[in-house]
Amino acid sequence: MPSPISEDLRVRILALRRLNYSCSMTVKALVKEGYSLAKSTVSRVWKSVGIEACKKSPAKIEKRKPRTPVIRTPTKIRKIADLCSSDDPIPQRSIAARVFVSLHTVTTIVHQDLGAKVRKKTKVHYLTEKAKKQRKDRARHFHELISNNLEYILTMDEAILPSDFKNGKTDFVYLSKKNVEDGRVVPPSVRSPGFPLQRMFAAGFSYRGQTRLYAIPRKAKVNADVFIQMVLRPMFDFDVPNLYGTDAHKVIFHMDCAPSHTAKKTVAWLRSRGIKFITKPEWLANSPNVSSMDFFTNGYLKKKLSHRTYSTEAGMNKAAKDEYKKIPLGMFRNSLDSWPARVLAIYKATGSQAPNY
């Protein structure tokens, strides 16, 4: 245990320390004054002083580090908030250049200070003023029509499916060290051709279930004759009686305004069979996403097909029919139940796009 020192010696050591004396200089000065001590004694006294004394002592003062400039100031946050408030904001990289901060700072301000999240806009089609007015004028009547007859509406549409999906192939592989030693080669990811082979399918569904999926020959021109013989006739001879039975006469047929749908021959055939259908003046013009087939079924079917593996056109036909048959009835009904709300949203938007319904 070190021997205790006198209070007088302790005071002298601290006094010399405040004069910025080093440990060696303190020992030499005190030896001249008649004291006998070692460097360890001086060091022990210094350590016993504590933090507060260290701050007051010039011997412990260090050069202060330059203060990091404050970047996320209220002014810069306000400027970035103004630039982000537009419906068509500029990219974050451009914001950084305009406000004179880094891209990282802009990202931090947007997500932490503003609490904002980046959301992609819903892609919609272009509408002229004439089309907007027409949509608004027809929306009210169409809303009442489908709301009062939702159970008996059979909606139908076509979908074009490419016949060369990835067939289960991915864009990556897992390569271990052993694979590299064994000489495994990473296979290339082949892009789809610019104009892939395509096949058109037609189908419909109602509150009672879905029809069969009808494949249109690849080189066939879809006119009124093809539409009647390959879609309408089998649909109303087989699917509608199978779904509705004795209530088949209550079915109201819905289709979009494609040329083969609105052709005089098609309209005459529907009327000759006594089939109720929604006419062209009743349907909302330029509204492809309002139809329940476009809103749900076509996209869902394409997503399911992208996970199937097939190598021939016949295999694709079989896969498409299998996947369409597997769609649960509840999903069809949910799509139909939301149909009136989508039409009403268009009416409230005065015929403009209403992507948030």
pLDDT confidence band for 70 (50 / 70 / 90): low
Report the range out of 87-101, 181-195, 342-356 with the highest average pLDDT. 87-101
pLDDT confidence band for 209 (50 / 70 / 90): very high
328-350 in b/e form (b: 16+ CB < 10 A) is: eeeebbebbeebbebbbbbbebe
Q: Which residue has the tokens 């004694």?
A: 41
Give the pLDDT mean for 135-151.
Answer: 92
Give residue 142's pLDDT. 92
Give the pLDDT mean for 306-315.
Answer: 80
Q: How many CB atoms lie within 10 A of CB 309?
A: 11
Distance of CA 131 to the CA centre of its chain: 29
Give the pLDDT mean for 177-199.
Answer: 69
Report the range out of 127-141, 234-248, 343-357 with the highest average pLDDT. 234-248
Give residue 251's pLDDT. 95
Distance of CA 108 to the CA centre of its chain: 20
Give the pLDDT mean for 59-81.
Answer: 69
- Higher-pLDDT residue of 253 and 61 is 253
Give residue 356's pLDDT. 59
| H or E stretch at 221 | none
Distance of CA 139 to the CA centre of its chain: 29
Cα Rg, the chain, nearest whole Å: 39
Task: Give how far Cα 213 sits from Cα of 75, 93, 113, 279, 335, Å.
Answer: 60, 48, 52, 24, 18
Calpha distance 175→208 (Å, rounded)? 50
Give the pLDDT mean for 249-274.
Answer: 93
Percent of the chain with pLDDT over 90: 38
Q: Which residue has the tokens 């509705």?
A: 244
Look at residue 55 and tell me whether its pLDDT is greater than 50.
no
Contact call for residues 353 and 127 (beta carbons, < 8 A): yes
Calpha distance 82→120 (Å, rounded)? 19
Contact call for residues 155 and 243 (beta carbons, < 8 A): no
Give residue 164's pLDDT. 59
Look at residue 149 and tell me whether its pLDDT is greater than 60.
yes
pLDDT confidence band for 96 (50 / 70 / 90): very high
pLDDT confidence band for 144 (50 / 70 / 90): very high
User: Out of 89-98, 197-206, 303-312, which region has the weakest mean confidence (pLDDT)?
Assistant: 303-312
Calpha distance 64→4 (Å, rounded)? 36
- Higher-pLDDT residue of 54 and 154 is 154
Task: Give how far Cα 299 sits from Cα of 87, 159, 289, 324, 332, Å.
Answer: 27, 9, 11, 11, 13
DSSP string, 232-272: IHHIIIIIHHHHHGGGGGG-EEE----HHHH-HHHHHHHHH
Look at residue 266 and tell me whether its pLDDT is greater than 70.
yes
Please state whether beta strands 252-254 and 276-277 pair in parallel, antiparallel, or not at all (unpaired).
parallel
Residues 6+ apart with CB under 8 A from 132: 350, 351, 352
Q: How many CB atoms lie within 10 A of CB 318?
A: 14
Give residue 327's pLDDT. 94
Give the pLDDT mean for 114-139.
Answer: 86
199 DSSP β-pair partners:
161
Contact call for residues 284 and 256 (beta carbons, < 8 A): no
Give the pLDDT mean for 12-25.
Answer: 83
Of 332, 278, 342, the residue nearest 145 (C-alpha)? 278
Contact call for residues 240 and 355 (beta carbons, < 8 A): no
Our CA angle for 61, 65, 67, nearest 5°, is 135
Give residue 181's pLDDT. 73
Look at residue 312 and tell me whether its pLDDT is greater than 90.
no
Indicate the DSSP class of residue 53: H
pLDDT digits over 158-171, tens only? 888 776 555 556 67
Give the pLDDT mean for 27-39.
Answer: 83
